[in-house]
């Protein structure tokens, strides 16, 4: 981009639309197109789905995939940052067990901020990424009252292995669990600059709150049912449907719409086709759990719901979004409580939001950083004369 190109004509019709579609900045980590979905540093997401999560963290921070040597060095570097402070155990032990896991996650991130802050944007962002697997595992353990015999953190493991090792669930296929979690992380790490949680995190950081405080705020934004918590609502919805019979599923969808409840797992603010992240997860499910009861239900929902939603011309995108399939896959490998699902989304997003905060604070505007966010709001009845001042 050069000079003062006109990117968008703002009219009064754009007011109070949640900034929908208004260009407000540049994003170096990813972009989202309405038909092809998210691209991380230019790579369409489907091309990256099989990569290791560590490779994608490297990509988001360095804007290129690592070669073999860079990968080894980066994994070692992350491992050296992974230790979590002892205080997190005390804090988690004291939290209400019925508090929502997203609140636990946000508090866990604040504890990291209070105990591990360096004040360097990139160091703090990478340290947080490295500590997340253990924080996630501990959150499950303490919230479920499984406080005894928590395995030591094994820092020489991958991020996903450290999480699975900390959980130490009995009678689960740890390899399958690892594969689902790894794919989940890769698919959810970033989604352009304007999704609500990323935008919120960057806005908070623009006032020079540290990365941890900014990330905790981003997690709170992600916890809403129209944003990240849609994955929890979606599996709850699937369990409520309880059948893969297309006729009954259609009846259920219609009755939810009549009751003015959202059809979770469908629709998007930017996408106008099925989200490729959903397509990847459906393909994975067909491979690992085609006969799983929940998977069969979402397969039917994917067929039925878009047709019903498309009857309403107000709905811009009746197709499946990222949240339709993730719950069924997580459930299949042993995560049977849907209230945890958004924490996986949050865990993944720490990488993308951390990288975007780093770019906005340290790289953009020749290193000066983006100034404090301050969009303009217009008072009801304000005159044109006032507006132009």
Residue ranges in 261-290 that form contacts with ligand MLT under rule CB under 6 A = 268-270
By C-beta, is 230 or 333 nearer to ligand NMX?
A: 230
> Residue 344: which of 359, 326, 366, 361 has the closest Cα?
326
Tokens standing for residue 356:
């975007």
Q: Say whether 227 is catalytic.
A: yes
- In whole angstroms, the minimum distance from the beta carbon of 125 to ligand MLT comes to 18
The residue with its CB nearest to ligand NMX is 267
Let me know: does 105 contact 344? Beta carbons within 8 Å.
no
According to DSSP, the residues that pair with 33 across neighbouring strands are: 37
By C-beta, is 117 or 269 nearer to ligand MLT?
A: 269
Tokens standing for residue 52:
């290791």
The single residue among 85, 262, 334, 369 that binds ligand NMX, judged by CB under 6 A, is 262
- In whole angstroms, the minimum distance from the beta carbon of 342 to ligand NMX comes to 9
Query: Strand, helix or coil at 9?
Result: coil
The answer to whether 230 contacts ligand NMX (rule: CB under 6 A) is yes
Residue 280 region by backbone torsions, left for phi larger than 0, else alpha for psi between -120 and 50, else beta: alpha
Let me know: does 287 contact 55? Beta carbons within 8 Å.
no
> Which of these is catalytic: 323, 331, 332, 359?
323
Q: Say whether 268 is catalytic.
A: yes
Tokens standing for residue 125:
């962002």
User: Considering just the CA atoms, what is the radius of gyration of the chain in Å?
Assistant: 21
Between the CA atoms of 349, 353, 354 and 360, what dihedral angle is there, to the nearest 10 degrees? 170
By C-beta, is 226 or 247 nearer to ligand NMX?
A: 226
Residue 331 binds what, of ligand NMX, ligand MLT, none (CB under 5 to 8 Å, by partner type)? Answer: none
Q: Say whether 120 is catalytic.
A: no
Residue ranges in 323-362 that form contacts with ligand NMX under rule CB under 6 A = 323
Contact residues for ligand NMX, defined by CB under 6 A:
226-228, 230, 262-269, 314-317, 321-323
Contact residues for ligand MLT, defined by CB under 6 A:
191, 195, 268-270, 322
Active site residues: 227, 268, 323
């Amino acid at each position: 981009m050069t000079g003062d190109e006109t990117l968008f004509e703002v009219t009064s019709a754009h007011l109070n639309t949640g900034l929908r579609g208004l260009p407000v900045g540049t994003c170096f980590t990813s972009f989202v197109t309405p038909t092809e979905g998210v691209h991380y540093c230019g790579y369409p997401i489907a091309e990256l789905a099989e990569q290791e999560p560590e490779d994608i963290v490297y990509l988001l921070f360095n804007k290129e995939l690592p070669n073999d040597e860079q990968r080894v060095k980066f994994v070692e570097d992350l491992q050296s940052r992974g230790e979590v402070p002892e205080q997190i155990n005390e804090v988690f032990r004291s939290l209400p067990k019925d508090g929502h896991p997203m609140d636990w996650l946000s508090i866990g991130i604040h504890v990291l901020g209070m105990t591990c802050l360096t004040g360097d944007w990139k160091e703090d962002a990478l340290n947080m990424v490295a500590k997340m697997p253990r924080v996630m595992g501990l959150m499950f353990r303490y919230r479920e009252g499984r406080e005894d015999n928590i395995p030591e953190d094994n820092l020489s493991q991958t991020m996903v292995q450290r999480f699975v090792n900390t959980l130490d669930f009995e009678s689960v296929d740890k390899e399958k669990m690892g594969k689902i979690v790894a794919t989940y992380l890769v698919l959810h790490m970033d989604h352009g600059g304007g999704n609500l949680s990323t935008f919120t995190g960057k806005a908070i950081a623009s006032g020079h709150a540290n990365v941890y405080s900014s990330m905790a705020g981003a997690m709170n934004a992600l916890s809403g049912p129209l944003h990240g918590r849609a994955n929890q609502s979606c599996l709850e919805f699937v369990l409520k449907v309880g059948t893969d019979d297309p006729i009954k599923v259609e009846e259920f969808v219609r009755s939810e719409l009549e009751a003015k409840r959202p059809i979770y797992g469908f629709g998007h603010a930017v996408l106008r086709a099925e989200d490729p992240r959903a397509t990847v997860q459906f393909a994975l499910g067909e491979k690992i759990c085609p006969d799983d009861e929940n998977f069969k239900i979402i397969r039917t929902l994917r067929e039925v719901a878009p047709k019903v939603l498309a009857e309403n011309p107000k709905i811009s995108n009746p197709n499946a979004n990222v949240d339709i399939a993730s719950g069924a896959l997580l459930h299949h490998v042993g995560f049977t409580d849907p209230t945890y699902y958004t924490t996986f989304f949050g865990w993944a997003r720490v990488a993308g939001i951390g990288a975007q905060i780093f770019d906005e604070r340290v790289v953009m505007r020749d290193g000066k950083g983006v100034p404090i966010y301050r969009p303009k709001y217009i008072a009801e009845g304000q005159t044109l004369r006032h507006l132009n001042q």
